[in-house]
Copies of this chain bind each other. A is one copy, B any other.
Amino acid sequence: MEDRFFKNIPHRTIERLSQYRRALQIYSDKGKTSIFSHQIAALLHITAVQVRRDLMLIGYSGSLRKGYDINDLITLIGELIDSPDGQKVAIFGMGDLGRAIINYFRGKREKLKIVAGFDTNPEKANHEVAGIHCYPLEKTAEIIGKEGIKIGILTVPGDQADETVRIMVEAGIKGVLNYTPTPVEVPDDVYLEEYNMISSIEKVAFYVKERQ
């Protein structure tokens, strides 16, 4: 019932909720306790109407004169998008990007923790890399199963992406974030998000060119 309710929140709204939380956190750190829709909007370069509409969809009400209570809203967004017991994340490929992500992620989100890494390089496997234990790829099924890890970030070389994601899925990973430039295949019950940095830069380059 409640699940149903959450299910038909637009994908774009889900993305924005995560961004609202981040922006709200910054405001909160400055000592603010409440915020207006147009202030949130200005931070994210969207309209105030859109902010109000999103908050309406998640059933949050602000007060007419003070706007939205920052801490309440952060809590509510957390209840909606976080898992109550937290979720564990593993990194596949402990190279430059993998390490950068681990360092960046550390301590950022309480409910979402990187707990293991996997690499084929024998110099990395069975050692700590950036403070995370790195396992050899063969141990994937064992560790993923034992730890109950459901989310994997893929940062292996492009030509290893297909094979690695196959191993991940077989081991029980249900959500893959692929930073490789190689598009990969997953079964229907696995959620896949691909991010291609080159495309982002090319898009910026295209619109810069077009505007001149």
Provide the main secondary structure of the chain A interface. Answer: helix
Residues of B within 8 A of A211 (CB): 174, 189, 191
* A167, CB-defined interface residue at 8 Å: no
Contact pick for A182, options B14, B26, B82, B177, CB 8 Å: B26
Residues of B within 8 A of A201 (CB): 89, 105, 112, 151, 153, 177
Most interface-central of A26, A202, A203, A210 (chain B CB within 10 A):
A202
Q: What is the interface of chain A, defined by CB distance below 8 A to chain B? A: 3, 6-7, 14-15, 18-19, 22-23, 26, 43-45, 81-83, 87, 89, 96-97, 99-101, 103-105, 108-109, 112, 150-151, 153, 174-177, 181-183, 189, 191-193, 195-212
Query: Could you pull out 11 A-B pairs where Cβ atoms are within 8 angstroms?
Result: A6-B210, A22-B198, A26-B182, A43-B183, A83-B205, A87-B205, A89-B205, A100-B100, A174-B212, A175-B204, A177-B204
